[in-house]
Amino acid sequence: MFGEGLLTGMGVTWKHFWGKKETFCYPEEKLPMTERFRGGHLMFDHTKCVACTLCSLACPNQAIKLKIVPDAMKKRHIESYVHLVGRCLYCNLCIEACNFHALSWDKNYAISTWHKEEMDDELVTAEGKEFFNEMMEKAKAEAEAKAKAEADKQKNEGGDA
């Protein structure tokens, strides 16, 4: 009979009309993200970073711009860590490259911005800056102490001679 198939199809939609809803009300309701979810902003732990630049080298699209400053003891520190979100492929290669687990995703997927300029994301926080200054000061003091100790040693050696 012509129309039988049409009616069968309508039967399916009729059944679903009274069935369980497949959708939910975003943004009032939000789904939790999975454990491995790659998205949102990068999170950077300044205490773990050793400034090896492996993350930036692993990036296929040069989305990570680093500013690395050597301290007085010639140890490298991160002064600025910029994640260019507009260039990011979310491929996870930077996170996998890090041997010290200093990087992770914050999983906050709603990251659209009004302006292109807002897309460049500085990951070193105020706390991180403070940590950086502290480390630099510490290294400076250490270097000065070391230089002083060496000078004293030379002086003593000179005195002995």
Partner 1 sequence: MPQTETYTLSMGPQHPSTHGVLQVRLDLDGETILKATPYMGYLHRGIEKLLESRTYVQGVPYTDRLDYVSSMNNNLGYCRAVEELAQIEVPERAEYIRVIVAELNRIASHLVFIGSLAIDLGASTGMLYAFRDREKVLDLFDLVCGARMTFHYIRVGGVSADLPPEFAAKCDEFLKVLPEFMQEYEDILTGNEIFQYRLKGTSRMTKEQALSHNMTGPNIRAVGIPFDIRKVDGYGVYPKLAFDVPVGENGDNWDRYRVRYLEIYESAKLVRQALDGLPEGDFMAKFPKALRPPKGEVYSRTEGTRGELGFYIVSDGGPKPYRVHIRRPSFINLQGLDDMCRGMLIGDSVAAFSAIDPLMGEVDC
For position 47 contacting partner 1 by CB under 8 A, the verdict is no
One of 43, 50, 51, 93 touching partner 1 (CB under 8 A): 93
Q: Give the interface segment with partner 1, choosing from 54-62, 74-82, 119-127, 137-145 (CB under 8 A).
A: 54-62
> Which tokens hold the place of 25?
């009300």
**Encoded tokens for 46:** 């300044």
Let me know: does 55 contact 97? Beta carbons within 8 Å: yes
Q: CA-CA distance, 111 to 100, in Å (whole number)?
A: 26
Token pair for residue 56?
A: 């930036």
Q: List the one residue from 2, 24, 26, 114 that touches partner 1 (CB under 8 A).
A: 2
With CB under 8 A as the contact rule, the residue among 39, 50, 69, 87 that binds partner 1 is 39
- 35 is a site residue for partner 1 (CB under 8 A): yes
